[in-house]
Amino acid sequence: MKIHHIGYAVKDIEKAKTIFEKLGFMSESKRGGGYITFDPVRQINICFLHRDGYRIELVSPAPSSAGTDAVSRIIKKIGNSPYHICYEINDFDNTLEELTQSGFTMFLPPMEAPALGDRRVAFCMNPSIGIVEFLEE
Ligand code: NI
């Protein structure tokens, strides 16, 4: 299990991207150019940046969601803030099954993530550490 990224909920993805670039992070361009990917299912915008082997994922509510997306609720609760670590796992379905039997409660079942080349991601909640994301290797 490798760490893939740390997810930040941010109100304004362009502003947040600029600040992380000032801190020395490099934006990762997506296939076909550009840096920000719109996820129409989850109604969010996503941008990845990296520095020193660390990858950060900026997640912001898409204007079209009008505050109904999950990230808007997180921002309302805790403001602009990191809110999950994403772990890359192999044997995705079996490992996920094991995890859900050992204290991780899945609240978003596996779905393709357009910002990650359509690899599947699932979100779990753990009572001791909160939100954890798992990504298919
Ligand atoms: Ni993430």
pLDDT tens digits for range 107-125? 999 999 988 989 999 999 9
Cα of 84 vs centre of ligand 1, distance in Å, is 7
Cα–Cα distance for residue pair 38/125, rounded to 1 Å? 24
Tell me what percent of the residues of the chain surpass a pLDDT of 70.
Answer: 100
Question: Could you tell me the CATH number of the domain that includes residue 110?
Answer: 3.10.180.10
52-63 confidence digits (pLDDT tens): 999 999 999 998
Q: For all residues of the chain together, what is the average pLDDT?
A: 95
Joined together, the tokens standing for residue 97 give 């099954």
Residue with tokens 């079942």: 109
pTM of the predicted structure, to 2 decimals:
0.93
| pLDDT of 15 above 80 | yes
Cα of 6 vs centre of ligand 1, distance in Å, is 7
Cα of 46 vs centre of ligand 1, distance in Å, is 9
What's the pLDDT at 32? 72
> For the chain, what is the domain count?
1
Residue with tokens 């044997």: 91
Cα of 3 vs centre of ligand 1, distance in Å, is 11
Cα of 43 vs centre of ligand 1, distance in Å, is 14
Domain enclosing residue 121, as ranges: 2-136
HEC readout, the chain:
CEEEEEEEECCCHHHHHHHHHHCCCEECCCCCCCCCEEECCCCEEEEEEEECCEEEEEEEECHHHCCCCHHHHHHHHHCCEEEEEEEEECCHHHHHHHHHCCCCEEEEEEEEEHHHCCEEEEEEEECCCEEEEEEEC
Contact in structure between 97 and 117 (CB atoms under 8 Å): no
Joined together, the tokens standing for residue 2 give 């490798």
